[in-house]
Structure 1
Amino acid sequence: MQDSWLNFTALTIIRIVVGTYVVAIALGLVAGVDPAALFVPALGPATGDLAGTVTLCALALAFMAGFGLRLFSASLALFVIGSSAAQNLLSPASADLQGFWRDVVLACAVLPGAVAMQPRAPGRPARFALRQARRVHPRRIATGKPSKRLAAEEAAAKRAELRRVAQAAQAAEAVKAVPSDGVQPELPARPKAVLTPV
């Protein structure tokens, strides 16, 4: 556990030092990449310089503070490499490979922030955590028309309910037909058959 805490602390200190250096570059206190190189062709010199300085300074401050480390470290590295390429490599007459490689090294110093720098809890390594995770059993959800089996089950349930209602009605009628004194009611007389000669 002490090693993971030491690694986390070291990476945090490196992140703060690199972020401070990038903020100093953005404010013009240290020579480095020109943050306005990407914005000057579209916005002009004054507005491009302001936009580049604000963008580089904001990315560096967010990187230093640790907000969204993966997003901001990758964005900062891409911004530094893009600005350096626009500044040092676009015109072959004034190509400055030394300045470009300096900025590439700076971008590589920023990239370890893209890795999650949280101290790992003691215990099993992360590769075993996936194997022991709870298994997920997805349920099928049907949309649209119900299946034939489901429709048949619903029809059978309706028929059984109707049968029960009919039997209950017949039982109620039979109870009403029986007189209370226990004497069987007289049946109507049968009609006599009439024979006709052939």
Structure 2
Amino acid sequence: MQDPRCHWCHGDALYQQYHDQEWGRPLFDEQSLFEFLLLEGAQAGLSWITVLRKREHYRAAFDGFDPVKIARYSPAKIEKLLQNPGIIRNRLKVSSAVKNARAWLDLKESGQDPVAFFWDFVDGRPLQNNRKKMADIPASTPLSDRLSKALKQAGFNFVGSTICYAHMQATGMVNDHLVSCPAHGECLALAKAL
């Protein structure tokens, strides 16, 4: 029998677990939203499975994705991270994580709840798409364009529209599971329960 899951996760147990338990599920936890933002930035130009396989290394290297700690990283700490084979050792991406942690904290200090900042783009409720095939799923949308622009204005980087749309998919702001995938209905039910 053919696997009914979204095709992108076929053939890899870690990918399937991520697909089945995380991708597309509405996420309102501030720490987790920040983690996904940094991981999506690290993924730029690479496949998501590459980052997913390094996720635990990232959690250890980046202090559990604590923005307060990351925002204080010194140039020496950045150099140490660039020697860590468990993460993607790209200077721009590592420096971006520090910059984005500072922007995240600046957002909070300005009185803005980061969770609300993201979810306000979809009026607090996940958008339900009804994609029938992988080719129907866009790399970006006008909505992710707006999120990208807002994040850049708030001081973030590595937040292009494609990265923002991937973040929206991962954190359940949009449900892009194919309608034939069991997870589509699961995510729809989670959204209705909000």
Which TM-score applies when normalising by structure 1?
0.28
Question: RCO higher in 1 or 2 (8 Å CA, sep ≥ 6)?
Answer: 2
Which TM-score applies when normalising by structure 2?
0.29
